[in-house]
Structure 1
Amino acid sequence: MLERKIAVGTNEYLTGSAELAAQLGCTKINQNNVVEYCLPPEHGDSWLMEAHPSAGLFVTNAYVTLLKPVVREYDIRQNGRWLCSVTNGVITILEPGKKARRLQPGIHLVQTGRQPFKIVFDADAPIWFTSIWLFDEWIHVHLRDKSVEPSYNFADYDGWQFAQYNTPDILLLFEQLKYALRIASVPLMYYENKIGELLALIIRNVRYEWFWKRQLQEERRRYVTYQNKKYMFLVKEELDKNILNPPSIKQLTTIAGMGATKLRQCFKGTFGITMDEYVRQEKMKEAMRLLSNDDLNIKNIAAAVGYKNSSQLIANFKKVHGFTPNEFRKLFGL
């Protein structure tokens, strides 16, 4: 039985995730410029961390294990959008007159200010996501004195296409927001600047269609059937069980019931990156978490994530994140 809460005129514009946190029974802790909402102890290590840089903008990172599904009903009166980068778990969007959307890993968008909608947070797996509540008023204030492409109107987000806000650099931006929230020490202007960067990247993708349409063309060439996709999620689940020491390609082909070449093609067609790239990215996420602990040196972290020496870690970390481990530590004063 789903837990329900009727929400009339919900107040995300002013309070962000506070009402969701109350529905989950969270306690509130202030950490510098970030608010941490901690779920009750029976949920294990479960929390939402949120920054509120200015009116109409909230940035949230969630790491939540639920004991039963939760339905959150939203009735937001202000025009804007909820952008959510899903990493793990089952989240479903229910909008009037539309088919239910079960969110796959990637970035998703829901418009606000038009009609109520629901978000279902399932209990089948831990839910990990980073999201942005971004309202039109914040955009207008932020861009008021900026030189923006004259042909583009941000209020016209009906035309935004999935591929326009799912490019690799935007996915990396969400990862950077996630770690900034978890460290809870960067100035609030950092989040505003990152959202400005997000808008600039979307302007690029809207104006230069070739940039993202070439990715769609590549996806069509490597179309993956629904049945194959189901097996790819099983493969990903197996990888995630021990990403630092992943199973062999032979073990994965047995799970997927296909040859190695087809497995690699289907994995990239489903998730947009190769298996090797996925494993490398996940290892570098863990490396970034370990780098937040200044008691560990680079050599120890390299060994912890499965590399023989620190040079391999440094090269792969820079390839994934765009900067070296030492530069990351300096950035956050570690």
Structure 2
Amino acid sequence: GYVLALYISGAGDEFYPYQNVSPNTLRCYEPSEKYKAIYHPQIPLRCITVQFDQEFIDQYLQEISGDLEVNFSDFFKEKGKFYLPNVNRAMQSLYEYLLSMKASRITVEAKIYEIISILASYLKENRLNEENARSINETDLQALDELTHYMDEHYSFNITLQTLSTIACMSESKMKKLFKSVYNMSITEYIQRKRISVAEHMLIQTDLTIAEISRIVGYSNPSRLIEIFKRYYGFTPSKYRE
């Protein structure tokens, strides 16, 4: 069946395709797919997984809404292209239930059904986004691609929407709307995730202070890095480094 995994803690890299692994990140795997990963041994690896059978999913969706149009195989092929904080929270809650040893079977099943419902809602919304994306002309899609390359190279600078709008040759409102529909996250979210990913590697691989790392990735005030890092990973950079 399909497997949904939430990394509670841990760091490393997965391959086929390549993607970074860090705390509070969601991953999905198709049946019998090729898997290879390198995990950093100094960071404890804690993960919760839920395996879904397509027949079970179809039966549940039929019961609650009569909707069988949701194709979970499409979701699990997306890999790292999604950001679902509601699923993260539900998976984290399920992990805590199981860790406490107080979770009943009913409680666990209810949480799993909740996760399926969230995924189904996401897929329906994403289907609309894909339809909108298909309506975007090739010139605008190329402009968005240029934006991501620019942000990947200049994430440590103060990138303004005005600058990006000039690069994309479109209004700020149009740019933000199209970017969201194609990448399923805001431009600010994209830049933050890039900065935090680089900061996470520096915490592991260098002896730089948090203040130094903060300046390198683009935050003049270390407290801002600490705030955003904790939001994504669940604990502070100093705690992550222990």
TM-score normalised over the length of structure 1: 0.43
Q: What corresponds to 1:86 in structure 2?
A: 7
Q: Higher relative CO (CA 8 A, sep ≥ 6), structure 1 or 2? A: 2
By how many angstroms is 1:173 displaced?
0.7
For each residue in 1:85-137, what CA deviation from the matched residue of structure 2 results, as whole angstroms up to 9, or x when unmatched? 1132245545xxx3444423300111114x45345555342112222122223
Q: What corresponds to 1:152 in structure 2?
A: 70
Q: What corresponds to 1:202 in structure 2?
A: 119
For each residue in 1:166-217, what CA deviation from the matched residue of structure 2 results, as whole angstroms up to 9, or x when unmatched? 3222111111011111111222122222121112112222222469746243
Alpha-carbon distance change, 282 to 102 in structure 1, aligned in 2, over 3 angstroms: closer
Alpha-carbon distance change, 161 to 108 in structure 1, aligned in 2, over 3 angstroms: closer
* Match 1:175 to one of 80, 92, 97: 92
> Aligned with 1:112: secondary structure?
coil
Aligned residues: 179
Gaps (5+ residues) in structure 1? 1-79, 239-250, 284-334
* Match 2:28 to one of 109, 120, 131: 109
Q: What corresponds to 1:218 in structure 2?
A: 188
Question: CA RMSD of the aligned region, Å?
Answer: 3.9
Aligned counterparts, 1:292-331, within 5 A: none
Greater helix share, structure number: 2
Q: What corresponds to 2:110 in structure 1?
A: 193
Alpha-carbon distance change, 177 to 124 in structure 1, aligned in 2, over 3 angstroms: same
State how far apart, in whole Å, the 1-side matches of 2:94 and 2:205 are: 25
Alpha-carbon distance change, 231 to 219 in structure 1, aligned in 2, over 3 angstroms: same
The question of 1:135 aligning with 2:56 is answered: no
Greater strand share, structure number: 1
Rg bigger for which structure? 1
Identity of aligned pairs, percent? Answer: 13
Contact 1:235 1:256 in 2 (8 A): no
Gaps (5+ residues) in structure 2? 130-176, 237-242
> Aligned with 1:186: secondary structure?
coil
> Aligned with 2:64: secondary structure?
coil
State how far apart, in whole Å, the 2-side matches of 1:121 and 1:222 are: 23
Alpha-carbon distance change, 237 to 262 in structure 1, aligned in 2, over 3 angstroms: farther
State how far apart, in whole Å, the 1-side matches of 2:112 and 2:13 are: 25
Contact 1:163 1:216 in 2 (8 A): no
Alpha-carbon distance change, 217 to 127 in structure 1, aligned in 2, over 3 angstroms: same
Contact 2:13 2:37 in 1 (8 A): yes
* Match 2:212 to one of 239, 254, 268: 254
State how far apart, in whole Å, the 2-side matches of 1:184 and 1:119 are: 30
Contact 2:4 2:29 in 1 (8 A): yes
Q: What corresponds to 1:42 in structure 2?
A: none
The question of 1:231 aligning with 2:185 is answered: no
Q: What corresponds to 1:67 in structure 2?
A: none
> Aligned with 1:215: secondary structure?
coil
> Aligned with 1:274: secondary structure?
helix
Contact 1:82 1:134 in 2 (8 A): yes
